[in-house]
Amino acid sequence: MKRIVILGTGGTIAGQAASARQHVQYRAASIAVADLAAGTQMPSGLDIETEQVAQVDSKDMSVDIWRALATRAAHHLARPEVAGIVVTHGTDTMEETAWFLHRVLAPARPVVLTAAMRPATALAADGPQNLLDAVSVAALPEARGVLACVAGVVHAGRDLRKVHPYRMDAFDSGDAGPLGFVEDGRLRRLREWPDGEPFGLDAMLRADWPRVDIVMNTVGADGVLVDALCALGVRGIVAACTGNGTLSRSLEEALLRAQEAGVAVLRATRIGRGALVEAEGATSALPSAGALTPVQARVELMLRLLQQDMTD
Ligand code: ASP
């Protein structure tokens, strides 16, 4: 028997509403992961184990929960009998958790995030099918890396982004495209499994995570927020730039001043797809986050600063 461990963190997949018609204003994170697993008809030949790591609406996901999640995932991945791990999560911040786990675990076996857009009490709840699909992917002998499985689509965790606030197919993989589709429990894979790019666990176990905030370029954006963040002692700032990494003159000047003063700055685009394209051979004064979304770039910058603190 293969063993799959399901780590519960909450979210709408564990949500309950007053009526089956209700898709908003329900209570997320109210059903135990053990009950979600027990209520889903799992594929035969699998031993399912559950562990409740947290029980939160993912809008309230925290560094403490991330630490617990990564630590428990690493613990279970070290058990030879565990074929793969599934993480139930809220959809709102799943792309941040996916990037975090991708960077700290880079597992040789699969860690599959799953979620739901309808509470468990909805007439056509999507959670049970998503959980079943995620377990099927986690049990595949060839699967590896941090993945996400929602609405029948499998994404590499590093490419994941939420693209719709209500529809059940609320995620995509940006320009990278999906990794594959789950069809009747079988995976139709379109491209290679994601390679790991691990930071390792050590840095993230540190108690004092650096503060990193996001500032967006908009019509009329100035440097006031950046100056205020610097005065607060922020360690890093991600600029959610317009277009291909552009910033208003005064916001750019403020960010350059911040960088000069020792604050780490990364530029990402506020557009949901694509990567920043730099002129050939040019290095820009404010470093690029490439294809990362601003929220992923913030996680990346926090991890880089943690690692830097360790080596200092
Ligand atoms: N607010 C919920 C959460 O992120 C939304 C969801 O799970 O769909 O936990």
pTM over 0.95: yes
- Mean pLDDT (whole number) for 67-94: 97
117 CA to middle of ligand 1, Å?
A: 7
Structure tokens belonging to residue 229: 């963040």
Tally Cβ neighbours within 10 Å of residue 51. 15
Tally Cβ neighbours within 10 Å of residue 78. 8
Among 166-180, 201-215, 239-253, name the one with the lowest average pLDDT.
201-215
Please give the pLDDT value at position 279.
87
142 CA to middle of ligand 1, Å?
A: 30
| For residue 109, pLDDT beyond 90 | yes
Q: Which atom of ligand 1 is nearest the CA belonging to 57?
A: 9
- Mean pLDDT (whole number) for 254-265: 98
Please give the pLDDT value at position 134.
98
Spatial separation of the C-alpha atoms in residues 173 and 155, rounded to whole Å: 6
12 is catalytic: yes
- Mean pLDDT (whole number) for 167-188: 96
- Mean pLDDT (whole number) for 7-26: 94
Of the candidates 12, 93, 121, 293, the residue annotated as catalytic is 12
On whether the CB atoms of residues 57 and 88 are closer than 8 A, the answer is: no
Instruction: Give residue ranges with CB within 6 A of ligand 1.
Output: 11-12, 28, 57-59, 90-92, 115, 117
198: confidence class by pLDDT, cuts 50, 70, 90 = confident
Tally Cβ neighbours within 10 Å of residue 228. 13
Question: In the chain, where are the structural domains located?
Answer: 2-189, 212-311
Please give the pLDDT value at position 232.
97
204 CA to middle of ligand 1, Å?
A: 24
Q: Which atom of ligand 1 is nearest the CA belonging to 13?
A: 7
On whether the CB atoms of residues 167 and 102 are closer than 8 A, the answer is: no
Asked, colleague to colleague, whether 2-189 and 212-311 share their fold, the answer is: yes
Please give the pLDDT value at position 312.
74
Please give the pLDDT value at position 215.
98
Residue of 27, 33, 57 to mutate, ligand 1, most atoms within 8 A of C-beta: 57
Burial of residue 261, with CB atoms counted within 10 A of its CB: 0-12 exposed, 13-18 middle, 19 or more buried: exposed
Please give the pLDDT value at position 200.
77
3-state secondary structure of 80: coil
- Domain 2-189 matching CATH 3.40.50.1860: the answer reads no
Classify domain 212-311 at the CATH topology level.
Rossmann fold (3.40.50)
DSSP run (H or E) holding 172: strand 171-172
119 CA to middle of ligand 1, Å?
A: 9
Average pLDDT score over the chain? 95
